[in-house]
């Protein structure tokens, strides 16, 4: 079940408001002692998030299906996708839904029932916790999220069933600007930088991949080397963008990779202002990276 993005905070009586996490969306299947963690696009993440899988394996229910986000928190308890990518901070699982428990399919039950099942199922375990609920007023919840530096919030209808796909039963509001974008090429390194200078990013409008800017910050030396190696099989003789930028010495790539990018704002001509690379995502497809409708 996916949330629909809305442009500004709102208050809807009776709805609940939760922290929006910056991590990997994961469905957790428990069958006896066996646990399987699957990403949005059905990739097996059990080994990648083995600590989370081990924690779920200790739960008393023999059959369980949970929905949530694997995250890593900084010192201020703000989830950071970069920290999760680096793998140096403990992975934890923020659980916000329960689809199956004790032989009962809960998807047609209201969220209020499913949330109670989450809390009963996971109890008090290391690396597992129910997603954080905010105050009942949506505008005040948004202000709290902004004050704490969270990525945003998700508003949910507590009477709604679990519906696969994108739904208006769940609405998300962003505090910080982040987008998943397609990597379409890179510029040559300059100065002391090695491997490459900046990534050339795009987003789709219909079938056209539109260039939205270059991202030159957010890389360690180790990451530069790792990304450069990843790019080599994708090197192409022609740009993937409909209107490619005029970048001397640019190396074009087949549009197969998705990166998460933080930025200050969209400019009037549809480019990113002050973008920072956060990491590659293999749980998103390039064609899912769409240019926002309000961007010219």
Rounding to the nearest 10 degrees, give the CA dihedral for residues 75, 78, 82, 83. Answer: 40
Whether 20 is a known active-site residue: answer: yes
Integer angstrom CA distances of residue 186 from 208, 214, 215, 234, 244: 19, 8, 9, 12, 12
Q: Which two tokens stand for residue 191?
A: 């100065």
* Residue in this structure with the two tokens 């409909």, named with its chain if needed: 242
Contacts (Cβ under 8 Å, ≥6 apart) of 106: 98, 99, 100, 113, 114, 117, 162
Catalytic residue among 20, 156, 271, 284: 20
- Tallying the residues shown for the chain, one arrives at 296
Contacts (Cβ under 8 Å, ≥6 apart) of 231: 183, 186, 196, 251, 253, 257
Q: Is 21 helix (H, G, I), strand (E, B) or coil?
A: coil
* Active site members: 20
């Amino acid at each position: 079940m996916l949330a629909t993005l809305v442009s500004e905070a709102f208050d809807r009586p009776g709805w609940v408001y939760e922290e929006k996490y910056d991590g990997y969306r994961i469905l957790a299947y428990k069958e006896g002692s066996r646990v399987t963690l699957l990403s949005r696009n059905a990739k097996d993440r059990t080994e990648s998030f083995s600590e989370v899988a081990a924690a779920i394996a200790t739960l008393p229910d023999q059959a369980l299906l949970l929905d949530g986000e694997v995250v890593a928190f900084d010192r201020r308890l703000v989830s950071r996708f970069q920290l999760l990518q680096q793998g140096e901070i403990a992975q934890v699982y923020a659980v916000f839904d329960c689809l199956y428990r004790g032989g009962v399919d809960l998807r047609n039950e209201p969220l209020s029932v499913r949330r109670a099942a989450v809390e009963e199922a996971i109890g008090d375990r290391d690396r597992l916790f129910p997603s954080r609920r905010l105050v009942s007023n949506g505008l005040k919840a948004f202000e709290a999220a902004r004050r704490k530096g969270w990525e945003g919030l998700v508003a949910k209808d507590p009477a709604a069933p679990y519906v696969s796909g994108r739904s208006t039963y769940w609405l998300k509001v962003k505090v910080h600007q982040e987008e998943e974008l397609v990597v379409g090429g890179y510029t040559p390194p300059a100065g002391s930088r090695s491997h490459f200078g900046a990534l050339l990013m795009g987003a789709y409008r219909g079938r056209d991949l539109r260039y939205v800017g270059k991202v030159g910050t957010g890389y360690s030396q180790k990451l530069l080397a790792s990304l450069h190696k990843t790019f080599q099989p994708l090197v192409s003789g022609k740009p993937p963008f409909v209107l490619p930028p005029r970048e001397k010495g640019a190396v074009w790539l087949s549009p197969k990779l998705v990166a998460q990018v933080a930025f200050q704002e969209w400019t009037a001509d549809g480019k990113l202002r002050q973008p920072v690379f956060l990491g590659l995502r293999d749980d998103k497809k390039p064609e899912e990276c769409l240019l926002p409708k309000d961007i010219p």
